[in-house]
Structure 1
Amino acid sequence: MIVSNVSLSGCADFNSALCAGAGEGHLGGGSYRTTLTPTGNLVVAVCLGFIGTFGLLNNLLVLVLFCRYKMLRSPINLLLINISISDLLVCVLGTPFSFAASTQGRWLIGERGCVWYGFANSLCGIVSLISLAVLSYERYSTMMAPTEADSSNYRKISLGIILSWAYSLIWTLPPLFGWSHYGPEGPGTTCSVDWTAKTANNISYVICLFIFCLIVPFLVIVFCYGKLLCAIRQVSGINASMSRKREQRVLCMVVIMVMCYLICWLPYGIMALLATFGPPGLVTPEASIIPSILAKMSTVIDPVIYVFMNKQFYRCFQALLQCAAPRRGSSLKSSSKVPTKPMRGAAGTGPRRTNDFLFMVASLGQPAATVPQLGLSCEPTIDITKAPSSDNKPVVVSLVAHRDG
């Protein structure tokens, strides 16, 4: 166990068990690797302090907005809250300990603390990744479903949240029971899965973790948002002037999401594979700490991308700062139960069929409707369920699609 802090040969001011572990292959794959310099530890501490502070504040703010404004309590937003909770737990259960270790240049809470740190951070990190994949699938399935999304049905989203935690537990519990193990990482100021052990037991776990907890979520995200963009472009073909801005905004957000996912997690995955399959000492302490910091940076970035770029959350954030009621923005609506009146000069003047339905492309923040299989005759309609108001709000426009068969 890690029970003392003594200076060994070449290990001044560093934990004895960590230095011994380096000689046993837990840190350097069979050779001792020096820790960061005092300047290096200071730089890492500053980065971790920034990440911990802003990650905590950003995710707490998300929870405050969700609790304060009833309009945000929709099923899809529960997934965003799940992401914020997992990121918040990383900021509370992980970052303070690695920050303290960096300021002191050594691990401070012992071997059991190292195992707990590695397990808790891996659990919350994978929950965040899986939740992003579930979120993208939910948006995709909502848009492609043949019926309107039920804004009061929390069952499906609740199952998705339970799935994210159960899936994460499936992949983070095995190291506690002998399939690989948690231990010091990089310079010894953080802990994670042992990437450097060259045993078949450890290598098999690292491969499975890389595939099922990094590659699979990424492929789901790319596939679902790719389909979403294709659907938006099809709608743009029906009414280009109305949908062009929406398409550009969604495309921008999708590119940002994918790029940030890759920036935060791909370097960490590559570092893990290099440490596992590369020669001993290939990944230096200086090189290994950078991907670890980038992965933790996701706790700051996720709330910004998935929440504060969401117009609904942003309006509530503005209302919170101004101590006012949130402003309601105009949006495309969908409801098969809402009576509509065709616009003058609209194409398709024949009688309505019983299976007509309204559709639109849901915003990334809160899907409100669905996109059917296209290849239908469509006509723009005006929602007449609301009386004209004096604030000159734009008329809500939707699209009515008639099935040909």
Structure 2
Amino acid sequence: MIVSNVSLSGCAGFNSALCAGPAEGHQGGGSHRTTLTPTGNLVVAVCLGFIGTFGLLNNLLVLVLFCRYKMLRSPINLLLINISISDLLVCVLGTPFSFAASTQGRWLIGEVGCVWYGFANSLFGIVSLISLAVLSYERYSTMMTPTEADSSNYCKALLGITLSWVYSLIWTMPPLFGWSSYGPEGPGTTCSVDWKAKTANNISYIICLFVFCLILPFLVIVFCYGKLLCAIRQVSGINASMSRKREQRVLFMVVVMVICYLLCWLPYGIMALLATFGPPGLVTPEASIIPSVLAKTSTVINPVIYVFMNKQFYRCFQALLRCDTPLRGSSLKSSSKVPTKAMRGVAVTGPRRTNDFLFMVASLGQPAATMPQLGASFEATNDVTKAPSSDANQPVVVSLVAHFDG
């Protein structure tokens, strides 16, 4: 996809003029001189070294925490682990080769290695993007489920993980069989889909890739988290100041997710379309390397946004540093819920504890029985000790728990 984590324009193939530099003795004729200056190669190598190192450390730490602490082994956290695994594979099987090529000023592992690199990085990149969309949909769908999600049921999470890998394979295998192709791109130190060929075969693939592997996941993420925000606003009448604070917190989380998604992938997608549909030479190799590096930063950013901003993982991380037992200050539920059918005279059962991303929490209209226990920081503004009225004109009760934590 637009997610192969490599640059977007440049060589149309191994026989193009851009890549026709001296092989300098490497077998297979697959070593091609980069078009960047030595200083440009150095800057790219430093950026890739930083991204590869911190991406590797961040995602490894996520896996260590997941394996070390049982409290993290919930279905929704399994989706987070899938994102970390795909990002980790990019850091292990992709970034080192482009880093080495930048330090040497040429592609080093030949023609077959270039095709493998383009395929592997496209596969892992799309898996990461689709997993983000599946994660947002899981939170939305379980929030709208009338019953409490079973935190021991991993079938739904495993289905989502399988879907992300199968979907990615569906869109990354066609270039291996003739629908477009993989080859060197940009300054000649990375490989990806051939964005520059003007054939109907290639253009049709690029359009499908852009729509189904970049735009579609983005729309799913915006829709699902937008619905969560709307649900939170519906309960703002319980305690105006507390609800406003929680609403702002959710809004901040959603805005960060969307901005980082767009920052990492939108420049890549735009450059790909310009290289595909624009006139020759519109996208220079030097310009195309910038969105390539931005796309790779997702391997560093994803663990921070989706994991280390998660209170469960953060408490376990603190415990790991102290060689201690993590504090159990947050709910370990894997999902969210919102009863979608009107309920009257039904008690809200079971305590509910909150954390930074467990948003609410309330009843619309007159409380039916008792409010859920929310912890010391919550002060109810209504009298929650009154029994439900039998008056048919009393407002219906809708309870809401929107769990962003996982």
Q: State the TM-score, normalized to the length of structure 2.
A: 0.80
Separation in 2, partners of 1:9, 1:326:
54
**Matching residue within 356, 370, 376 for 1:394:** 376
Query: Does the CA contact (< 8 Å) of 2:54 and 2:300 recur in 1?
Result: yes
Letter in 1 for 2:345: R
Deviation at 1:219, TM superposition (A): 0.4
Query: Does the CA contact (< 8 Å) of 2:331 and 2:354 recur in 1?
Result: no
Letter in 2 for 1:96: P
Letter in 2 for 1:130: I
Deviation at 1:245, TM superposition (A): 2.2
Separation in 2, partners of 1:9, 1:190:
12
* Structure 1 residues 175-205: Cα deviation after superposition (integer angstroms, max 9, x where no partner): 0000000000101100000000000000000
More displaced, 228-237 or 67-76?
228-237
Where do 5+ consecutive residues of structure 1 fail to align?
21-32, 336-350, 387-392
More displaced, 353-362 or 144-153?
353-362
Separation in 1, partners of 2:330, 2:31:
61
1:381 paired residue number = 370
- Taking the TM superposition and a 5 Å limit, the aligned residue runs for 1:82-101 are 82-101=82-101
- Taking the TM superposition and a 5 Å limit, the aligned residue runs for 1:1-400 are 11=21, 35-330=35-330, 353-354=345-346, 377-378=366-367, 381=370, 394=376
Deviation at 1:153, TM superposition (A): 1.1
Q: 1:353 to 1:382 in 2, by over 3 A?
A: closer
1:345 paired residue number = none
2:392 paired residue number = none
Query: Does the CA contact (< 8 Å) of 1:332 and 1:397 recur in 2?
Result: no
* Structure 1 residues 22-59: Cα deviation after superposition (integer angstroms, max 9, x where no partner): xxxxxxxxxxx970001100100000000100000000
Separation in 1, partners of 2:65, 2:334:
26
Where do 5+ consecutive residues of structure 2 fail to align?
1-13, 336-342, 389-394, 399-406
Separation in 1, partners of 2:22, 2:268:
28
* Structure 1 residues 141-191: Cα deviation after superposition (integer angstroms, max 9, x where no partner): 121211112111111111011000010011000000000000001011000
Separation in 2, partners of 1:403, 1:334:
27
2:8 paired residue number = none
Separation in 2, partners of 1:9, 1:356:
67
SS in 1 for 2:116: helix
Q: 1:96 to 1:9 in 2, by over 3 A?
A: closer
Query: Does the CA contact (< 8 Å) of 2:346 and 2:369 recur in 1?
Result: no
SS in 2 for 1:183: strand
Separation in 2, partners of 1:303, 1:332:
19
Separation in 2, partners of 1:93, 1:198:
30
Separation in 2, partners of 1:396, 1:208:
49
SS in 1 for 2:152: coil
Query: Does the CA contact (< 8 Å) of 2:98 and 2:189 recur in 1?
Result: yes
Deviation at 1:86, TM superposition (A): 0.2
Query: Does the CA contact (< 8 Å) of 1:89 and 1:124 recur in 2?
Result: yes
Q: 1:135 to 1:326 in 2, by over 3 A?
A: same
* Structure 1 residues 85-118: Cα deviation after superposition (integer angstroms, max 9, x where no partner): 0000000010000000000111000111001000
1:342 paired residue number = none
Letter in 2 for 1:11: G
Deviation at 1:329, TM superposition (A): 1.5
Query: Does the CA contact (< 8 Å) of 2:237 and 2:364 recur in 1?
Result: no
Letter in 2 for 1:394: A
Deviation at 1:241, TM superposition (A): 3.3
Separation in 2, partners of 1:115, 1:272:
18
SS in 1 for 2:235: helix
Identity %: 78
* Structure 1 residues 231-279: Cα deviation after superposition (integer angstroms, max 9, x where no partner): 1111122332332222111111110000000000000000100000001
Structure number with higher relative contact order (C-alpha < 8 Å, ≥ 6 residues apart): 2
Q: 1:241 to 1:223 in 2, by over 3 A?
A: same
Q: 1:205 to 1:370 in 2, by over 3 A?
A: farther
Query: Does the CA contact (< 8 Å) of 2:345 and 2:369 recur in 1?
Result: no
Aligned alpha-carbon RMSD (Å): 3.6
Letter in 2 for 1:170: I
Letter in 2 for 1:288: S
Query: Does the CA contact (< 8 Å) of 1:51 and 1:297 recur in 2?
Result: yes
Separation in 2, partners of 1:228, 1:363:
16
SS in 2 for 1:191: strand
Query: Does the CA contact (< 8 Å) of 1:47 and 1:293 recur in 2?
Result: yes
SS in 2 for 1:289: helix
SS in 2 for 1:184: strand
Letter in 1 for 2:21: C
Name segments (4+ residues, structure 1) moved above 2 Å.
7-20, 237-245, 330-335, 351-365, 369-372, 374-384, 393-405
Query: Does the CA contact (< 8 Å) of 2:31 and 2:109 recur in 1?
Result: no
Separation in 1, partners of 2:204, 2:142:
36
Q: State the TM-score, normalized to the length of structure 1.
A: 0.80
